[in-house]
Amino acid sequence: MTAVETGRGLWELLRPVNAIAAAVLTAIGAFVAGGLVDAPLAVGAAAAATFFGTGAGNAINDYFDREIDAHNKPDRPIPRGAVSPRQALWYSLACFAAAVVLALTLPVLAIGIALFNLFALVSYTQVFKGLPGAGNVVVAYLGGSTFLFGAAAAGRIGPAVVLFALAALSTVSREIVKDVEDIAGDRAEGLNTLPIAIGERRALWIAVGVLAIAILASPIPYLTDTFGLAYLLVLVPAIAYMTYAAWTSLTDPARGQHHLKYGMFLAALAFVIGRLSASTSILA
């Protein structure tokens, strides 16, 4: 492999779109908490730490999952030979180190969240991924915690707690659907994911049920007067889209989990609009 191909493979290991998205979610958490303007340097450091931490987790996951990916996703960097397993391991460690250095510049609570998340990322593949439902919960926590991390970096975690809970529930649902999509490769590697343990149909209905809880709870910021009508106006199409995604998942898990991903971003947008509206009302 040429240096260019290896460089491309290392970049792909990060899953840059996902890593950037996680960094954006961290910034959204800070914004929802009202701290984006007050602590821009801390929020920037938190977003960068999230990028490197997420990328490191993706790289280490590819390192441990290289045999599974050879069956499920042969175009990934390690199975196709663009990056060696050893290169992927050292690359992930370097990214973890960058995330830790950035996180150590933040408030104590943010440091605690970052260190706990790094532990969860490292242990996910080897400890939790093969346990029915446990891996889904870990990934869901990590996804939702980006909002908490951003809010903690800004020094005001309270307003982001509901956003964390809704994101975590939605991610549990999406991760279960993804396990159904990947069931052939997971079974071949001897993993005992939820769909393998209880059956694909039951797992899909659990995913739909968890998503329903998130949907039913999503109006809480409006009902508690945290956000106003603007939040609700954006939330309604998000709910409709995620309901469609849940229904699609029952017949086409691959399409369903992609729809769930976009629906989660639309729901996050509702929080942004809600905060913008609330800030405007305060200034008025």
Alpha-helix residue ranges (DSSP H) falling in the chain: 3-13, 16-32, 40-64, 66-72, 85-103, 108-123, 134-154, 161-181, 183-188, 194-198, 200-217, 220-223, 229-251, 253-283
- Half-sphere exposure in the Cβ direction for 216 (13 Å, CA): 6
Low-confidence residues in the chain, pLDDT < 50? 282-284
DSSP annotation of 128: I
- Output the six-digit token pair for 191: 């993993």
The CATH H-level (homologous superfamily) assignment of domain 3-283 is UbiA prenyltransferase (1.10.357.140)
Return the pLDDT at 52: 95
pLDDT in tens, 249-260: 888 888 888 888
How far apart are alpha carbons 162 and 86 in whole angstroms? 40
pLDDT on residue 283: 39
pTM, two decimals, is 0.81
